[in-house]
């Protein structure tokens, strides 16, 4: 039974894991980083310097065997998520797992099956856009019908640049993965097909990539969602959405902040990367998860989840698989999902 702060073990102390460690040690209430689980010793030591109450471990098994955590935040690269999830589920730990849930639909399904077998909802997936205040407002506006029925969504997802390790499927699996979650969440429907179009290549695009791409999702309620996925824009990081409704439009993700007029020029700052664009979303996501995990461990709640579930992670993995197929095929690729298991309804 949990009587004090939630002891969180952070698995993976790279870019996102380190960011979450600082968040958990600073802004989040009701939690403490009790374990930094990271095979790279240098990274582990740097992270431990920001988590004064934490012990360091090289693997999840060691940390669990030492009884060092009440809950796990998984921030390893996607291909390692399944192993970490299955180990933590086996130990009955609440888990916040960074996106994607796992690397493909088959492994995501195994996680869904393991969670159902355990009988408790323990897995929350880090689709943090659902916690961004503007996305929340847009969803509420669409659902209210105040501007009429939703017809289409236009989305842009622009990164200034990407590392050499970022390959063509990552346009889908690492980046559009967010739109596959948040688009249907906004529109209140389920994706039935995905199409990818390649237009003129950006001369700034790294030699091994072919982009920008345009991704078109068709939903079962007739709504179309298009996403410009563009990872060589140079000017900054931009994620913006326009919802077209019967009686008007609504936009989120527009530049805001200090406006400057100088030398016959008007400027507003733009984000350089996702860490500032989605600061509030990450903070609110982690706080909601900590609160839910605490309520679960004290017996006040039946589940440890306050956001996207393992089912959402599976559903998105199926969309990503269709999206990767669509990268090399003309026309729409169908998305076929089994019925939502009773456990997730």
Ligand X SMILES: O=C1[C@@H](O)[C@H](O)[C@@H](O)[C@H](O)[C@H]1O
> Would you give the binding string for ligand X spanning residues 262-291, x where CB under 6 A is met?
------------x-----------------
Measuring CA to CA, which residue among 136, 132, 110, 135 is closest to residue 123? 110
Distance CA 132, CA 130 (A): 6
Binding-site string for ligand NAI from residue 92 to residue 111, where x marks contact by CB under 6 A and - marks none: ------xx------------
Query: The dihedral of CA 56, 59, 60, 65: what is its sign?
Result: negative
Cβ proximity to ligand X, 10 vs 69, nearer residue:
10
CA distance 174 to 159: 12
Q: Does 78 bind ligand NAI (CB under 6 A)?
A: yes
Nearer to ligand NAI, 77 or 148 (CB): 77
Rounded Cα distance, 171 and 327, in Å: 9
Q: Give the residue, chosen from 34, 108, 159, 193, that forms a contact with ligand X under the rule CB under 6 A.
A: 159
Residue-by-residue DSSP string for 88-152: HHHTT--EEEESSSSSSHHHHHHHHHHHHHHTS--EEEE-GGGGSHHHHHHHHHHHHTTT--EEE
* Token pair for 185: 């969440």
Q: CB nearer to ligand X: give 44 or 178.
A: 178
Binding segment for ligand NAI (CB under 6 A), chosen from 73-81, 182-190, 223-231, 307-315, is: 73-81
How crowded is residue 296: how many other Cβ atoms within 10 Å of its Cβ?
A: 23
Site membership for ligand NAI, residue 307 (CB under 6 A) = no
Q: Could you count the other beta carbons within 10 Å of the beta carbon of residue 68?
A: 18
The answer to whether 128 contacts ligand NAI (rule: CB under 6 A) is yes
The answer to whether the CB of 259 falls within 8 A of the CB of 267 is yes
* Separation CA 208–CA 201 (nearest Å): 12
Q: Which of 67, 77, 248, 255 binds ligand NAI (CB under 6 A)?
A: 77
- Taking residues 170 to 199 in sequence order and writing x for each that binds ligand X by CB under 6 A, - otherwise, the string is ----xx--x---------------------
Residues 129 and 312 sit within 8 Å (Cβ to Cβ)? no
Calculate the alpha carbon distances from 337 to 3, 108, 318 in Å.
41, 13, 7
68 belongs to the binding site for ligand NAI (CB under 6 A):
no
Of 98 and 312, nearer to ligand NAI (C-beta) is 98
Cα(187)–Cα(250) distance, integer angstroms: 13
Size of the site for ligand X (CB under 6 A): 5
Q: Which does residue 175 bind out of ligand NAI, ligand X, none, counting CB within 5 to 8 angstroms by kind?
A: ligand X
Does 115 bind ligand X (CB under 6 A)? Our answer is no
Per-residue contact flags (x/-) with ligand X for residues 307 to 336, judged by CB under 6 A: ------------------------------
Q: Which is nearer to ligand NAI, 5 or 37 (CB)?
A: 37
233-292: which residues touch ligand NAI (CB under 6 A)? Answer: 274
The H or E element spanning position 238 is strand 238-245
Binding mask 223-262 for ligand X (x = CB under 6 A): ----------------------------------------
Footprint on this chain of ligand NAI (rule: CB under 6 A): 11-17, 37-40, 43, 75-78, 80, 98-99, 126, 128, 174, 274
Footprint on this chain of ligand X (rule: CB under 6 A): 159, 174-175, 178, 274
């Amino acid at each position: 039974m949990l009587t004090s702060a939630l002891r969180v073990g952070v698995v993976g102390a790279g870019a996102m894991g380190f960011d979450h460690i600082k968040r958990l040690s600073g802004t989040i209430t009701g939690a403490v980083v009790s374990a930094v689980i990271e095979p790279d010793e240098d990274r582990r030591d740097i992270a431990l310097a920001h988590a004064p109450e934490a012990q360091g471990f090289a693997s999840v098994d060691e940390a669990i065997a030492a009884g060092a955590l009440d809950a796990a935040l998984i921030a390893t690269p996607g291909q390692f998520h399944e192993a970490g999830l299955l180990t933590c589920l086996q130990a009955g730990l609440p888990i916040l797992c960074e996106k994607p849930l796992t690397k493909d639909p088959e492994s995501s399904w195994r996680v869904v099956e393991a969670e159902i077998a355990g009988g408790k909802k323990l897995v929350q997936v880090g689709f943090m856009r659902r916690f961004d205040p503007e996305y929340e407002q847009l969803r509420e506006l669409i659902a209210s019908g105040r501007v009429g029925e939703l017809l289409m969504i236009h989305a842009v997802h622009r990164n200034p640049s990407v590392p050499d390790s970022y390959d063509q499927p990552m346009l889908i699996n690492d980046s559009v993965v967010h739109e596959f979650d948040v688009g249907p969440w906004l529109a209140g429907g389920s994706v039935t097909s995905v199409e990818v179009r390649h237009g003129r290549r950006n001369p700034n695009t790294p030699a091994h990539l072919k982009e920008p791409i345009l991704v078109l999702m068709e939903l079962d309620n007739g709504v179309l969602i298009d996403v410009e996925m563009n990872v060589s824009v140079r000017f900054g990081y931009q994620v913006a959405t326009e919802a077209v409704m019967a009686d008007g439009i609504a936009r989120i993700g527009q530049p805001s902040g200090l406006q400057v007029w100088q030398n016959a020029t008007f400027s507003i700052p733009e984000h350089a990367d996702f860490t500032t664009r989605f600061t509030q979303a990450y903070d609110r996501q982690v706080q909601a998860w900590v609160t839910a995990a605490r309520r679960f461990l004290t017996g006040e709640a039946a589940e440890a989840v306050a956001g996207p579930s393992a089912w959402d992670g599976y559903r998105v993995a199926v969309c990503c698989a269709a999206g990767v197929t669509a990268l090399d095929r003309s026309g729409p690729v169908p998305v076929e999902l089994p019925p939502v298991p009773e456990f997730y309804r």
